[in-house]
């Protein structure tokens, strides 16, 4: 009977043993690799702690000097006044608006106030103190997500699957957003409401946008007129239905005619109810069209004006974030101190191997 039992192949045992050994070695090397990374990070952390401890006094002095410089510049430098407005674009004027602001800014930086005076139709006295013009979109993170969701819904499902939120933001242009903020920085506290108004008026008077505006308003007025005609016919027909029902009710002693307005009864709604529902839909659409007509009256419009006479703003920006002068110069000096000390430590490190080269 023992001769009939299957014999174990020695080569298979060897192959399995080698396989498990390879797998074990792979895991061992992997965990050693992870351990070396963690050990390196820990040593780097310890080195940074001792580095900061060693040069703590130097960093404190650098921070104090930075704050002192900030206070000094606040007292001695010329004040900068900041004025800004928020505008709403009812048409695709963003690229044109951004190009216009860039052009005005170039004229200011070149000191060509006479050309700027002619473009904005404002006296030089009101323009000579301007040192910078800026524009940026106003949009929250939630609004970006909503814009992405709306964009995805317009695409084919196959194409939509390839568009990520990050790629959408990368290709999204700031000037496409409906709300924009225009900022003027000046050396004097002046009212720049006339400057803001003329910047907007230059966009509103653009011949191309005016032609598009006329076409849109004409089309909307025609839609509104068509709906009004439909409502007149609907009211007339509804009146006829009501008279017919009242007459039928009188002939049948009020037992045969019944109006189902709230649609709670079982069975189909009456023709009068269907006509009434259609009438409501038309009126809602008419309100929407009238709102669109009101929006289209302005190609671009000012929605809010804050500190149009200017408020003092001597802040600096780092990575797009505004900072006060004291914090700004303290951070700059701390960073420079850190880089210099790191550089000296690196030179010392190289010096240890000078004799070995």
As given in the structure block, the two tokens for residue 183 are 């900022």
Nearest-angstrom CA–CA distance, 180 and 88: 7
pLDDT value for 14 = 52
DSSP string, 320-349: TEEE-HHHHHHHHHHHHHHHHHHHHHHHHH
d(CA 340, CA 346): 10
Take residue 330 and report the two structure tokens written for it. 């303290």
- The residues pairing with 88 across neighbouring beta strands, listed in sequence order, are 179, 301
Q: Which residues contact 70 (CB under 8 A, 6 or more apart)?
A: 324, 325, 326, 327, 328, 329, 330
What does DSSP assign to residue 162? T
What are the sequence ranges of the domains in the chain? 19-75+325-348, 80-210+300-323, 217-296
Are 62 and 338 in contact by the 8 Å Cβ rule? The answer is no
Residue 25 is predicted with a pLDDT of 80
Radius of gyration of the chain (CA): 37
CA distance 186 to 134: 12
Q: Which two tokens stand for residue 142?
A: 């939630």
If you ran DSSP here, which 8-state letter would residue 316 be given?
Answer: E
Return the ∠ at Cα 196 (arms to 194 and 199), rounded to 5°.
105
Average pLDDT of adjacent 10-residue blocks, the chain of 357 residues: 51 63 82 88 88 89 90 81 90 92 92 88 82 90 88 85 87 89 86 87 92 93 89 76 69 51 44 76 89 90 72 71 82 92 85 67
Angle at CA of residue 351, ends 347 and 357, nearest 5° = 125
Q: 51: which residues sit within 8 A by CB, 6+ positions away? A: 341, 345
């Amino acid at each position: 009977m023992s001769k009939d039992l299957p014999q174990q192949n020695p080569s298979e045992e060897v192959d399995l043993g080698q396989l498990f050994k390879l797998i074990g070695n792979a895991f061992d090397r992997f965990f050693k690799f992870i351990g070396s990374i963690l050990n390196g990070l820990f040593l780097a952390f310890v080195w940074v702690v001792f580095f900061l401890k060693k040069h703590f006094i130097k960093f404190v002095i650098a921070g104090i000097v930075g704050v002192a410089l900030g206070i000094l510049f606040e007292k001695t430098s010329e004040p900068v006044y900041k004025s800004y407005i928020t505008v709403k674009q009812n048409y695709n004027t963003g690229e044109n608006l951004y190009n216009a602001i860039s052009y005005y800014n170039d004229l200011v930086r070149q000191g060509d106030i006479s050309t700027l005076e002619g473009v904005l139709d404002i006296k030089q006295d009101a323009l000579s103190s301007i040192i910078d013009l800026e524009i940026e979109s106003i949009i929250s993170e939630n609004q970006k997500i909503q814009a992405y969701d709306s964009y995805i819904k317009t695409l084919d499902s196959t194409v939509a699957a390839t568009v990520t939120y990050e790629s959408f933001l990368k290709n999204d242009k700031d000037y496409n957003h409906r709300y924009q903020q225009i900022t003027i920085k000046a050396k004097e506290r002046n009212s720049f409401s006339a400057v803001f108004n003329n910047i907007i008026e230059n966009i509103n008077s653009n011949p191309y946008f005016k032609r598009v505006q006329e076409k849109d308003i004409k089309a909307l007025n025609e839609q509104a007129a068509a709906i009004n005609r439909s409502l007149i016919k609907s009211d007339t027909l509804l009146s006829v239905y009501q008279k017919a029902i009242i007459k039928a009710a009188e002939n049948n002693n009020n037992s045969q005619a019944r109006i189902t307005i709230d649609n709670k009864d079982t069975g189909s709604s009456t023709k009068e109810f269907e006509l009434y529902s259609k009438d409501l839909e038309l009126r809602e659409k008419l309100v929407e069209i009238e709102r669109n007509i009101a929006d289209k009256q302005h190609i671009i419009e000012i929605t809010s004006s804050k500190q149009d006479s200017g408020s003092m703003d001597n802040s600096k920006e780092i990575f797009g974030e505004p900072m006060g002068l004291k914090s700004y110069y303290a951070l700059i000096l701390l960073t420079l101190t850190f880089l210099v000390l790191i550089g000296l430590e690196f030179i010392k490190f190289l010096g240890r191997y000078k004799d070995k080269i």
